[in-house]
Amino acid sequence: MGRPKKHELRCKQLNLSLTESELESISRRAEAFGLRPVQFGRLLILDREYEANAKTSPHNKFDRLVYGQLVRLGVNLNQMMRYLHRTGDPLPADLEPLLADIRSTIARMNADDR
């Protein structure tokens, strides 16, 4: 299943010049929300609140950092699985313990939200 088509394509650009410290600040703030700097900047410029994950967004900084890392792990696992399916290679033996750790971390985070 592919990514859903966007109703309105983003085909225009707005280029900004930032100082090193400004870019670092934006990058840190974006990471705290689990976003890329460009996504975070778009939300700020358009004066939109971060509503996409309002219900599921982690509450404190530690949870946001763990959530961001879990998202990255998920992306990497997805890429690995796509590669394995394409090549027909067997699953690595150490994959299941890793998945069990990820599942338990997610379960703990969900239990803390209640």
| This model's pTM is above 0.85 | no
Same domain, 74 and 114: yes
Whether residue 42 lies inside any domain: the answer is: yes
Same domain, 26 and 48: yes
User: How many structural domains compose the chain?
Assistant: 2
Is 112 or 23 the better-scoring residue by pLDDT? 23
pLDDT averaged over every residue in the chain:
80
**pLDDT for res 3:** 65
Same domain, 66 and 114: yes
With DSSP H G I counted as helix, E B as strand and the rest as coil, what are the percentages for the chain, rounded to 5?
60, 0, 40
Same domain, 77 and 34: no
Residue 45, domain extent: 16-54
Is 57 or 106 the better-scoring residue by pLDDT? 106
41-62 pLDDT per residue, tens: 888 888 765 544 444 455 566 6
Alpha-carbon gap, residue 88 to 15, rounded angstroms? 43
Residue 19 identity (one-letter amino acid): T
Whether residue 85 lies inside any domain: the answer is: yes
